[in-house]
Structure 1
């Protein structure tokens, strides 16, 4: 949707959150984003109308989580569960959310997803769905 335009994607998060707060109509993606943002009050201040905050580069050496990556991983996991892609993830998602609650389950699942994506990028391959599902089964 945004290609590689990080700033446009971040502005869309801000726009979705602002529309939610103003009780304006939201499309399906805006609703999903607003839900994830609502679940992360620690990020609300980042979505204030400040371009400098949106343009910040989050580096691992800063010791801070990239809030947009974090929220994006939530959205990715929810999309995977909704479409059951990779096949079998819906059952794992349901088991984990029953065991830990939605947010905690997704936070645990993020580790597996991030690892899978990192490996794929490092190896210049598609993510290994089997390894990803195996990681989730260990949770």
Structure 2
């Protein structure tokens, strides 16, 4: 997957185009297209051509960045698949059983986003213990 913003966004657009057109895709493209399929509110954007690659979403605009949102889903799924940090797969199963997969991932993504933001702010690695504790609080809150 590309590491620059435009390349990454183009990857999402292409994965979605392949899904819509029934074309062969790489495994990672399938994963991205699966997340996109769960977010119909982003379909028009991903089908809009260059606008999807160039637009900025800032906190001041009050709009969520769809690429960040979908990336958090993908990141969570990778964490669950590898159970890293240890215990996240079980928490994911519990939350998905209680709230459904998509809603569970949305709740968990908030914790992941905060952990990543704190790590960036502190110029450090994400604090896995604090992250797991935040996920446990969500689980325990019902």
* TM bracket, shorter-chain basis: over 0.9
Q: What is the aligned partner in structure 1 of residue 2 from structure 2?
A: 2
Whether the 8 Å contact between 1:46 and 1:54 is mirrored in structure 2 is no
Specify the SS of the correspondent of 2:31.
Answer: helix
| TM superposition shift of 1:70 | 0.2
Gaps of 5+ in 1: none
Q: TM-score, normalised by structure 1?
A: 0.96
Matches within 5 A, 1:43-62: 43-62=42-61
Runs ≥4 in structure 1, deviation > 3 angstroms? none
The CA distance in 1 between the partners of 2:52 and 2:81, in whole Å, is: 31
Aligned pair count reads 138
Specify the SS of the correspondent of 1:138.
Answer: helix
Specify the SS of the correspondent of 1:24.
Answer: coil
Matches within 5 A, 1:58-73: 58-73=57-72
Gaps of 5+ in 2: none
Q: What is the aligned partner in structure 2 of residue 33 from structure 1?
A: 32
Supply the RMSD in Å over aligned alpha carbons: 0.8
Greater alpha carbon shift after TM alignment, 43-52 vs 60-69: 43-52
Q: Deviations over 1:85-109 (max 9, x none)?
A: 1111000010010010011000000
